[in-house]
Structure 1
């Protein structure tokens, strides 16, 4: 078997398991006690702690050319301390955000026959999927997803996007354009926050790799035994996450606790990925996060990934390497880096930590 061409076992759609009405989940989805939502280390916290909320109204396309210093500082501080923040007044229409959620929820409620037309493989993950990683016998997460590309244009094909609902492709196009603009502004702000020129991190990316994974977490009869997505840090550059306003599920690791993110209406949840940690020589930190599931409600999230070009080595930016702070990471292409994810699935921060210089 070609390990990146075929899944190691027959694929079972989690939505089908949920719709079956079973009161227990199969053993393949039961996490070890230390990884369950209420157990292990770090423990779930009861503290009323929230990730920062940042107003981006002053952050236009010409970042750094006007009085947006307070906004840039707030973004940089959040990415140093948390690796996460919620963004309001970000310039993307709330109506577009709602339409994007609606069309993708519509896709996941199509017949299984229609969805199966887009079944994916581990080689690219593009299409309709139900597992990450190809290890035989792995404990699986309670969620389905759809993965697709926007950039580079040689990878983007509307034929690989769902044809139904009828407005999905046009809505998805519009959404991708607006979020790519937002990510470019954020990357400029992160550059300035490092004391670099606004376009420096963009240059390090060389060309953009833009993709999205739409996650669908069906109702789960035993949510205390499983996770929608296991603990991980995002492997790419910047992630812009749109979630359901009315159902919580995302948790961020903070010291020895898991903090449940309380979504702000019409906000995006922004986090830096491992490539930004590497480029910034660990000034900015990607942070572990995970997703809980719910017995009473399904949940949809749209994770938009802004990544570097896949075949150029990514290492710490030269201007950030000094005698006092030498390079902390070995250069590696993003293609090499994400191969780990495609083989192993989500594994905390083990991949980025493995790249540290000896």
Structure 2
């Protein structure tokens, strides 16, 4: 399989149909929501039966995890078992780096359409400006634009999709990617311990670790009740680290059959379990459906960093996570690239794609 290199190449993960820029629809003063963007029968945001404690995702102090604090490790275990999501504070990524990254993404989306289209996705390509997961001319579309870049390992970068002429963009992404990778390394170590391995066990089993960054722009919408910024889905990653606007809500997660908004904490990261971890933990830690909403007053930016295994690495439930009487094997082993190709061949549709790797119940 071809891998990306700095002057070209293809991951071969999947392809997506071209779609209009939502940002341009808004810039051109649309009078009504185009039919393809109207999502009917959306779930209600919050169930009235949930208590206040069930409306706030857990908060993990990364600095304590990095020091080996056992109580914080227990909190991480609880967060991943019961929520699949948590906000992380004191993560060590410098505030200056966070602000530069947000500014770089904002600068890209401030470019005129022709400027952004220079970095448009190509056929059978997931990197670049546009949208992923559009597999039909008839499916409903999301109220957002995005640019997705592979950032780690460096030799897999394809710079023709990078707006290198935009002052400070590459430098901001480089710095942010590097510091996020340090955070990811400590998370890998703690997940390893929780799953009965030594600290570097999970990284060893994943092969050469990969990182991709999806930069999202959600324009304002006159009828946010009719659209979705991003449709419900779970991530195919090992885990995802999200940087979002401090003052604009948008992320919602599925918890106990209710959609719960995640209120941003300034300079924090939102972490969620990905499908690869669900598979390797044998369902102990579940990847959770989440979606993004829009609003009438302010556009919103979010930056999702996906950390995932090497394409050719086989993933499956760890022996330490299988118990024939209490937790029998729930997933088959699969090469990661085969799993991710199945995911990218579909539209975003909750966790429907995970059925592909589940063992049938007897």
Considering the TM-score relative to the shorter chain, is it more than 0.5? yes
Q: Please report how far the alpha carbon of residue 112 of structure 1 lies from its aligned counterpart in structure 2 after TM superposition.
A: 1.0
Aligned twin of 1:140: 141
Q: Distance in 2 between matches of 1:347 and 1:22?
A: 27
Deviates more, 1:296-305 or 1:151-160: 151-160
Q: Distance in 1 between matches of 2:351 and 2:201?
A: 26
Q: Distance in 1 between matches of 2:132 and 2:186?
A: 32
| Per-residue deviation, residues 300-322 of structure 1 (Å, max 9, x unmatched) | 00000000111222101122223
Q: Does 1:279 align with 2:285?
A: no
Aligned twin of 1:202: 203
Q: Please report how far the alpha carbon of residue 210 of structure 1 lies from its aligned counterpart in structure 2 after TM superposition.
A: 0.7
Deviates more, 1:219-228 or 1:190-199: 190-199
Q: Please report how far the alpha carbon of residue 7 of structure 1 lies from its aligned counterpart in structure 2 after TM superposition.
A: 5.0
TM-score (norm 1): 0.91
Q: Does 1:182 align with 2:176?
A: no
Q: Please report how far the alpha carbon of residue 191 of structure 1 lies from its aligned counterpart in structure 2 after TM superposition.
A: 1.4
Contact 2:16 2:124 in 1 (8 A): no
Aligned twin of 1:63: none
Q: Distance in 2 between matches of 1:172 and 1:7?
A: 24
Aligned twin of 1:339: 341
| Per-residue deviation, residues 183-214 of structure 1 (Å, max 9, x unmatched) | 11011111112232111111121110111100
| Per-residue deviation, residues 240-289 of structure 1 (Å, max 9, x unmatched) | 00000100000010012110000111100000100000001111111100
SS in 2 for 1:344: coil
Q: Does 1:51 align with 2:33?
A: no
Once the two structures are superposed, the pairs formed by residues 197-346 of structure 1 within 5 Å of their partners are: 197-324=198-325, 325-346=327-348
> Of 29, 34, 51, which aligns to 1:26?
34
| Per-residue deviation, residues 130-183 of structure 1 (Å, max 9, x unmatched) | 352322211111100010011233311344311243101011001001101101
SS in 1 for 2:172: helix
Q: Please report how far the alpha carbon of residue 353 of structure 1 lies from its aligned counterpart in structure 2 after TM superposition.
A: 3.1
Q: Distance in 1 between matches of 2:132 and 2:273?
A: 23
Deviating 4+ runs (over 4 angstroms): 3-8
SS in 2 for 1:336: helix
Residues 326 and 175 (structure 1), Cα distance of their counterparts in 2 relative to 1, 3 Å cut: same
Residues 72 and 96 (structure 1), Cα distance of their counterparts in 2 relative to 1, 3 Å cut: same
Residues 294 and 201 (structure 1), Cα distance of their counterparts in 2 relative to 1, 3 Å cut: same
Q: Please report how far the alpha carbon of residue 4 of structure 1 lies from its aligned counterpart in structure 2 after TM superposition.
A: 8.3
SS in 1 for 2:75: helix
Q: Distance in 2 between matches of 1:264 and 1:256?
A: 24
Once the two structures are superposed, the pairs formed by residues 106-121 of structure 1 within 5 Å of their partners are: 106-121=107-122
Structure 1, unaligned runs of 5 or more: 61-65
SS in 2 for 1:309: coil
| Per-residue deviation, residues 18-63 of structure 1 (Å, max 9, x unmatched) | 1111131100101122xx3xxx3x6534654110111111233xxx
Q: Distance in 2 between matches of 1:263 and 1:273?
A: 20
Q: Distance in 2 between matches of 1:166 and 1:120?
A: 22
| Per-residue deviation, residues 87-126 of structure 1 (Å, max 9, x unmatched) | 0000101111011001111100111111100000352311
TM-score (norm 2): 0.90
